[in-house]
Amino acid sequence: MTDEPAEHALHARFLRGLAIAPHATALRVGERLLSYQELHETALAWAGALLAADERPAAVGVLADKGVTAYAGILAGLYAGTTVVPLNPRFPTARTRRMLEVSGAAALIADESGLSALAEAYGSGLRVPVLAPGRDGTGGGRFRELPLRAADAQAAPCPVSPSDTAYVLFTSGSTGQPKGVPISHGSTHHYFQLLDKRYDFHSGDAFSQTFDVNFDCAMFDMFCAWGAGASLHPVPARAYRDLPGFFAERGMTVWFSTPSAIALTRRMGGLVPDAMPTLRWSLFAGEGLRADDAADWQAAAPRSAVENLYGPTELTVTVTGHRWSAESSPALCGNGLVPIGRLHEGHELVLLDEDGRPGAGPEGELCVTGPQMTAGYLDPEDNPGRFLEHAGRTWYRTGDRVRVLDGGELLYLGRLDAQVQIQGWRVELAEVEHAVRACDGVQDAVAVTRPAHNSAELVVFYTGTPTPGARLAARLRDLLPHGMVPRHFRHVAEFPLNSNRKIDRARLAREALDPRD
């Protein structure tokens, strides 16, 4: 044990906030407020319960909705010196079982939703112990429950090394099986040091938390807020009906979400000039950020710096960033999308050509190496095809196509699988979507493909004013080559979102298979 964990430990950021503002609010869930001191003592008690059951559990799963159990559980796992595995109790049970098995979780922390998910997934067959705070006897004999005893509480967090895994998150695998991504304390230390230089976060800030805790961007919110002694505010679903009102109520100063939140705020009537005067920072990641969305949000939050961030889970949350400027950013945009910015300090890139060879021109598949890169997936069989050996180093293949702009910033062009062949034409889905948005009455558009006549055809879903497909196609013939013009259009009131509040393109692709147009 050590009273002062090394600076590289991820949980050292919480202890920094504890030292700055021990009695200030660290977490607000609904009307419940927990101070840094309260959350610290809770995490020490829970860490003690975990260690009393297993001297050093290999990993601890946290299966809980965004509430006290989830946040205190993540901190408790870090305090116990083990690997934290945040999980979503709303996921399919088979997926949850798979993630627990792959991660090697030796214990679980669960809230009511998590316990229900475990009962559905395992019945009475769960072999690892469960800590269910405040729920004595919840398991009903189905699970071995860990007791919380004052005598077991830790005096201080356990020490960890930079190479130790801080957390494991799961991404979708090409085989349909989730891939476990271990992120080390050393990687998070490099990442948050850079963020400390980039942002002026302080103890008076109030951070939103829009992402579920099993999504990597949630780590940004948690440990940027806690490293500054600021407060963290999980955003309830009802808040999206009136985000400006929610911001005013909470004095929100830092917002981070997917860009889909901008369109939703616009539909709810909240995206009007100066509607969000308390915001100092507005950050977006997870999807392409449209230039018109960035401009509208900037107008609604005029005292806020707006940034477009990018990074796969394998590169520790985000690895590039572009700060929006009304004067200079529009000229850098492509297909209506804001650049993703420059790589973080200490990282390098190579671009692959269409044959997967390094040395492409200014456009190609982005590969990155540097201190934020994971050492590989939990299951080594998932590594082939995702990591590249080049020039004596290992690089992560992002699967994203980018263009290097003259000033060194990167412009996101889309996923490799977003470049499709339509009757011999090479079609960029992002280019089609950009053209559809230029049609009168269209607010936003998503293009997907479906099989047709031994080839593929485009189906466009759009929001805005319902318009005859023939009229849209006629307008698009002025904007796109003939072979790229879609023939099938479907109006929707809004796009479906997945659990991470990104547009659910997979669901739209499934809906496109219904030949009703």
Q: Per CATH, is 29-149 categorized as 3.30.70.240? A: no
Domain 189-346+365-383+394-414 superfamily per CATH? ANL, N-terminal domain (3.40.50.12780)
> What are the pLDDT digits (tens) for 15-64?
999 999 999 999 999 999 999 999 999 999 999 999 998 777 899 999 99
Contacts of 264 (CB under 8 A, 6+ apart): 240, 494
Supply the pLDDT for residue 359. 81
Supply the pLDDT for residue 482. 78
Extended strands (E) in 46-164: 59-63, 83-87, 107-110, 130-131
d(CA 303, CA 511): 41
Residue with tokens 């509040």: 501
Q: In CATH terms, are 29-149 and 189-346+365-383+394-414 the same topology?
A: yes
Supply the pLDDT for residue 257. 96
- Counting every residue, how long is the chain? 517
Contact 223, 317 (CB under 8 A): no
In CATH, what number does 423-512 get? 3.30.300.30
Supply the pLDDT for residue 423. 61
Over the range 181-196, which residues count as b (16 or more CB within 10 Å of their CB) and which as e? bbbbbbbbbbbbebbe
**Stated pTM of the model:** 0.86
The DSSP code sequence of 144-179 is -BPP--GGG--SSPPP--TTSEEEEEEE--TTSSPE
β-bridge partners, 412: 402
Supply the pLDDT for residue 2. 39
Residue with tokens 């901008």: 262
Centre a 10 Å sphere on the Cβ of residue 380 and count the other Cβ atoms it contains: 8
β-bridge partners, 308: 284, 322
* Domain locations along the chain: 29-149, 189-346+365-383+394-414, 423-512
Low-confidence ranges of the chain (pLDDT < 50): 1-3, 137-139, 174-175
